A and B are shown apart, each in its own frame.
Chain A
Amino acid sequence: MTVREIIDSLHLKIFAGEQGLDNPVEGGYTSDLLSDVMGYADAGRVWITLQTHKNIMAIASLKELAAVLLVKGFEPDEDTKALAGKEGIPILGTTEQAFEISGRLYGLFNP
């Protein structure tokens, strides 16, 4: 599955990092502690979070994540968007809360 297919299935918004839309996705990881993601998220995951600080893109790049997905209608800060473009990692959005969108993403991988 690619980031693009997930966007289509879950009706997500794209804020930045469009050049990474064909990144392959292996699954998801939900956490709002950046130290936790840095320690435990595996490569190729879509990271579901409400954090919008630019550090999320640095960590997404470090961990080779497929995309970052912001919940509850949160929007990325301007410098976060700029980094998403530079790193080629899409930053996506949904109005749903983490529980709901995590469940729906899980459902795509475990039908």
Chain B
Amino acid sequence: MLVKADLHIHTFLSPCGDIGMTPLNIVRKAREKALDLIAVTDHNSTLQGPEVFRLGQREGVAVIYGAEITTREEVHCLAYVGTETQRVKLQTYLEQHLPKIPNDPEIFGYQLWVDEQEKVFGEAPYLLISALDQTIDQVETFVHAIGGLFVPAHIERPRNSLLSQLGFVPPGLRTDALELSRRTRPADFLLLHPELKKYEIIQSSDTHYIDDLGAVFTLFEMEKPGFEGLETSLKSIK
């Protein structure tokens, strides 16, 4: 089947995530926008993933666990995993390598993860938008070692992107796809960067606001919406 996917969504847990980005709002909006598959990708945390996954199962939207990781070079990279066991491994790694800088909610916003009724499960104590003490190569190696997928985010943006921080896509970086922001048309981008045609290009909303969920999306051919389908789809293209 052709699967409509938005694989870069921030929840209320991201300090910059709007208060409307609650688990129930996210899955309901995804259904309204006819998305078959979404990924929860908060900054350096996976903690809101399980509740969105649970509600997605009930409401008929497949949900992938993920995170938008900030590498030491301050490159934003998406990591996707398929199981709760992998999610816990990824979460442990993130907590181990995130600097212990206390969050100031007055400046950066709250870092709460919540349940269906918006009851608070917990608060992430350290600033989630810091950079990990891990290089992009170390992050890529770890994500692949636990069986995840690794996708540099919004690579054409002038900040926190692979191209802004590292100038060009490093030869040998094992990336499963490259993500473009919703501000760019992939065809226009590839005219400027023909050398990147060999990579799979995906596009997601990177939304922090509920109304922008699904503002852009990628269509994948897969048997069933989910991590396995995404993995097979990305690997078959290469």
Contact = CB atoms under 8 A, between A and B. Distances in A.
Q: Do chains A and B stick together as partners?
A: yes
Chain A interface size band reads: 10 to 19
B164 A33 contact: yes
Given A33-B164, A35-B164, A77-B135, A51 B73 contact: yes
A33 B74 CA distance: 10
Contacts of A9: none
| Chain B CB within 10 A, most for which of A33, A53, A77 | A53
B168 A53 contact: no
Chain B interface size band reads: 10 to 19
Contacts of A37: 167
B167 A35 contact: yes
A51 B166 CA distance: 9
B184 interface: no
Interface stretch (A19-27, A54-62, A95-103): A54-62
A34 interface: yes
A52 B164 CA distance: 15
A110 to B, nearest CB: 29
A38 interface: yes
Interface in A28-81: 33-35, 37-38, 51-55, 58-59, 77
A98 B158 CA distance: 22
B124 interface: no
B165 A33 contact: yes
Contacts of B170: 53-55
Contact of A53 (B73, B158, B164): B73
A55 B135 contact: no
A33 B73 CA distance: 9
A50 to B, nearest CB: 9
A87 to B, nearest CB: 15
B213 to A, nearest CB: 30
A53 B71 CA distance: 12
B168 A58 contact: yes
B165 A35 contact: yes
Interface string B150-179: 000000001000011111101000000000
12 contacts: A34-B166, A34-B167, A35-B158, A35-B163, A35-B167, A38-B167, A51-B166, A55-B166, A55-B168, A58-B167, A58-B168, A59-B167
